[in-house]
Amino acid sequence: MRTVIPVENGDALAAARGFLRQLLEAGVVEALLVPMETPSGTITPALVTDPDLLAAANPFAPVMGLNAARVVGHVSVREPRGKIGAVLRSCELRALVELVKLRQASLDDLVTIGVDCLGTYDVPVYVELHGQGQVDMAAYLATAQSGDLSPVEGYAFRDACEMCEKPQVENADIALELFGADLGAGIPITLSDELAEQLGFAPQEGDGRRAEVVEKVVAARTQVRDERFGDIRQRLDEEGIEGVFAACVRCHNCMTVCPICYCKTCLFKSPVFDHEPAQYMNWARRKGATRLPADTMLFHLTRLNHMVLSCIGCGMCTSACPTNLPVGRVFRAIGQQVQAVFEYVPGRDVEEPLPLVTFREDEWMEVGEE
Partner 1 sequence: MAEKFEPKIVAFLCNWCTYTGADLAGTSRIQYPPNVRIIRLMCSGSVDPTYVLKPLLDGVDGVLVGGCHPGDCHYQSGNYKARRRIIALKEIIKNAGFDEERVWLRWISASEGQRFAETVTKMTEFLREKGPNPMRQKWAV
Where along the sequence are the contacts to partner 1 (CB under 8 A)? 233, 236-237, 239-243, 246, 267, 283-284, 286-291, 295-298, 301-302, 304-306, 308-309, 330, 333-334, 337-338, 341-342, 355-357, 359-361, 363-365, 367-370
User: Which residue type does 253 have?
Assistant: N
Q: Where are the beta strands (DSSP E) in the chain?
A: 2-6, 31-37, 43-48, 84-89, 110-115, 174-176, 186-191
Residue nearer to partner 1 on the CB measure, 103 or 342: 342
CB 228 → partner 1: shortest distance, Å? Answer: 15
Residue 239: helix, strand or coil by DSSP? helix
- Output the smallest distance, CB 294 to partner 1, in A: 10
d(CA 64, CA 46): 14
Burial (CB count <10 Å: 0-12, 13-18, 19+), residue 114: buried
Nearer residue to partner 1 within complex by CB, 171 or 302: 302
CB of 322 to partner 1, least distance (A): 19
CA distances from 312 to 79, 95, 215, 308, 322 (A): 27, 6, 19, 9, 21
Tell me whether residue 26 or residue 298 sits nearer to partner 1 (CB atom): 298
Q: Which amino acid is at 119?
A: G
* Nearest distance in Å: CB 188, partner 1: 40
Residue 277 vs residues 23, 273, 292, 332: alpha-carbon distances, Å? 59, 12, 12, 36
Residue 53 vs 301, nearer CB to partner 1: 301
Smallest distance from the beta carbon of 278 to partner 1, in angstroms? Answer: 16
Which amino acid appears at position 139 of this protein? A
Q: How far is the CB of 144 from partner 1 (least distance, A)?
A: 35
Question: Residue 83 CB: number of other CB atoms within 10 A?
Answer: 13
Minimum CB separation of residue 304 from partner 1 in Å reads: 5
Q: Which amino acid is at 6?
A: P
Q: Are 14 and 8 in contact (CB under 8 A)?
A: yes
Residue number, 158 or 303, with CB nearest to partner 1: 303
Taking the least distance from each CB to partner 1, the nearer of 192 and 305 is: 305
Minimum gap (Å) between residue 59 Cβ and partner 1: 36
**Could you tell me whether strands 110-115 and 84-89 are parallel, antiparallel, or unpaired per DSSP bridges?**
parallel
Q: In the Cβ-directed half-sphere of 327, how many Cα atoms lie within 13 Å?
A: 32
Considering the complex, state which of residue 219 and residue 298 has its C-beta at the smaller distance from partner 1: 298
Q: Of 202 and 272, which CB lies nearer to partner 1 in the complex structure?
A: 272
Contacts of 191 (CB under 8 A, 6+ apart): 1, 3, 173, 174, 175, 199, 201
CA distance 125 to 302: 31
CB of 126 to partner 1, least distance (A): 33
Of 218 and 255, nearer to partner 1 (C-beta) is 255
User: What is the spatial distance between Cα 120 and Cα 222, in angstroms, rounded to a whole number?
Assistant: 17
